[in-house]
Amino acid sequence: MPLRATIGGNDTHAYEYTEEGWTSLKTSYKATNLLMPCCSSLAIPKTSKLGTFFFAHKQKAECNSAPESAEHIYLKTLVAKAAIEAGWTTCTEYRGRSPADEDWVADVLCKNGCATVAFEIQLSPVPYSDIAERTERYRRSKVRAAWLVDSTKFKEWKSNSNKNYPIFGVNRFDTVEPPTVQHFERPVDEFVKALLSKKVQWIAEPWEYDIFYIEDVCWKCNEPVKQVYGSAIDVYGESAKTVPNASTVLSKFFDFITNDELRSLGLNTIEKHEKLKGNAPGFPYCNVCIHCGAPQNNHYLMNHLQKQNREFGEAKFTSPREGSGNWVWLNDNCGSQASTTSLTVGSRGQ
């Protein structure tokens, strides 16, 4: 059931009416051409059991739009009003289309300058993959999505919420008091305002890797080199154990670090050398001398790893690409931080 209808072709939003305005619309609407936005059939202004104003079909037979609960329209109203208070323009049940011709309908679409945020209220259970898919569809339309979900139906919302998929659990409610957002314990309307005003931001915790190396000498140029042979993050680590396994371990470096970054740490880089003598067939990854570019085959590496007189070392690398994090309500005196992402970042398709 929408909060939006049209009168004479112009949008009218139920949440923009005062008590008196709504009462007067209820007596006067028959003389106007009040239509539903979903199917352009006649609309009636109604008031829900939670006291929310909304529009209903005069005859619903013809329309296939899904019915919405009183809780859903109440939350939509709260979100729309909060966004307006935060200085955004809003439209509910907004119909849009991605460049790939995918249709979508946003519960509440909020605009401010070139930033666009779609709030979706999801009180019935759906798989998280649906939420992710719909978020991606919005992203393709240069719209940032934010989800308000029922915390009793989506108990794992927090671990599924991240910078790309902002998901927030709303506590159950059956009164006309705004419900609170779980974990933040603030009313939904206050939370939405904070989100749109960048007071709630994603704080990233970049992942720190340890890279294991041995102090060695390049067989070709005789310069000292740091031959890499393993890496670890937290308690998860892997070191080369055999000649073929060295290639496998080294190939995984590219999941978190580039050759330029290895070089900047003073470590050897890693390359694929298919037919190099001393590499196992089908296991082509090996160290490459930082000075002369000569491949250091894995037989050579394993041999030196097993010698007792080598110096072992560890280099620290903080991945700028990966990490975990949290949505955090920032204090008033907290300035903008390099590692934070507000909801409005990325809404321009960046």
Q: What token pair was written down for 30?
A: 């028959």
- Rule CB under 5 A: say whether 56 interacts with Zn ion: no
**327 contacts 101 by C-beta, under 8 angstroms:** no
Indicate the residue among 82 and 218 with the shorter CB distance to Zn ion: 218
Indicate the residue among 183 and 291 with the shorter CB distance to Zn ion: 291
Indicate the residue among 155 and 220 with the shorter CB distance to Zn ion: 220
Q: How far apart are CA 185 and CA 182, in angstroms?
A: 5
Indicate the residue among 163 and 273 with the shorter CB distance to Zn ion: 273
Q: What token pair was written down for 1?
A: 């059931």
In DSSP notation, 169-192 reads: EEPP--SSSPPEETTTTEEHHHHH
Indicate the residue among 36 and 121 with the shorter CB distance to Zn ion: 36
Shortest distance (Å) from residue 35 CB to Zn ion: 9
Total residues at the site for Zn ion (CB under 5 A)? 12
**288 contacts 268 by C-beta, under 8 angstroms:** yes
Query: Which is it for the CA torsion 45, 22, 40, 140, positive or negative?
Result: negative
Shortest distance (Å) from residue 104 CB to Zn ion: 17
Cα–Cα nearest to 269, from 251, 288, 250, 255: 288
Shortest distance (Å) from residue 215 CB to Zn ion: 14
Coil, helix or strand for 201?
strand
* Adjacency order of strands within the sheet including 10-13: 10-13, 4-7, 34-35
Cα–Cα nearest to 167, from 65, 178, 153, 72: 153
Shortest distance (Å) from residue 240 CB to Zn ion: 20
Write down the residue that tokens 């139906």 correspond to: 153
- Which residue type does 341 have? T
Contact set for Zn ion, span 106-165 (CB under 5 A): none
Indicate the residue among 62 and 185 with the shorter CB distance to Zn ion: 62
Contact set for Zn ion, span 32-51 (CB under 5 A): 36, 38-39
* Pairing of the two strands 167-170 and 144-150: parallel
Shortest distance (Å) from residue 268 CB to Zn ion: 9
Shortest distance (Å) from residue 214 CB to Zn ion: 15
Query: Exactly one of 50, 132, 221, 233 binds Zn ion (CB under 5 A); which one?
Result: 221
- Rule CB under 5 A: say whether 243 interacts with Zn ion: no
Query: Exactly one of 56, 63, 91, 233 binds Zn ion (CB under 5 A); which one?
Result: 63
Coil, helix or strand for 41?
coil
Contact set for Zn ion, span 160-219 (CB under 5 A): 218
The helix (H) or strand (E) run that includes residue 246 is helix 243-251
Indicate the residue among 49 and 220 with the shorter CB distance to Zn ion: 220
* Adjacency order of strands within the sheet including 180-181: 89-97, 103-112, 115-122, 144-150, 167-170, 180-181, 186-187
Query: Exactly one of 155, 220, 263, 321 binds Zn ion (CB under 5 A); which one?
Result: 220
Contact set for Zn ion, span 289-348 (CB under 5 A): 289, 291-292, 294
Indicate the residue among 176 and 292 with the shorter CB distance to Zn ion: 292
Contact range with Zn ion by CB under 5 A, out of 8-16, 146-154, 190-198, 285-293: 285-293
Binding site for Zn ion (CB under 5 A): 36, 38-39, 63, 65, 218, 220-221, 289, 291-292, 294
